[in-house]
Amino acid sequence: FATCSDDGTIKIWDFFKTQLGHQERTLEGHGWDVGCIDWHPQLPLIASGSKDSLVKLWDARQGTILTTLHGHKNTIASVKWNRNGSWLLTGSRDQLIKLYDIRTMRPFQVFRGHTRDVTTMQWHPVQDNLFVSGAGTSS
């Protein structure tokens, strides 16, 4: 289990050792609040997004940063792995959604259309190439 925090850290917890949870490690490396994380569906990888406009991929076992994605110009509000873990969606306050291929660590598609901050995204549970996204409103 993992949590993210306004102190810029990610904490990994083990609930098998105790019912209340045991903190295994703290991941540090973002320059500001970490507001979203997502575990890779098959590997010990965590994607994190922060107010520093960066997405980081972490080795959860070693506690190290594997790479940093510099694709957005504002706070990252959502990160989501697809079902098989080959694609990563990132959504930001820059009103963009970027789709990264994990093998190349580069965005291969940028989705425009939101007129407000992208706040949430979710992959379709069956169709691997479909997702939905939501954005904030002024009201």
The reported pTM is 0.89
pLDDT tens figures, 93-118: 999 999 999 999 889 999 999 999 99
pLDDT(139) > 50: no
pLDDT tens figures, 115-129: 999 999 999 999 989
Across-strand partners of 41? none
pLDDT tens figures, 40-66: 999 999 999 999 999 999 999 999 999
Max intra-chain CA distance, the chain? 46
Residue 19: per-residue pLDDT: 63
Rounded to whole angstroms, the Cα distance separating 60 from 117 reads 29
pLDDT(28) > 90: no
Rounded to whole angstroms, the Cα distance separating 76 from 21 reads 28
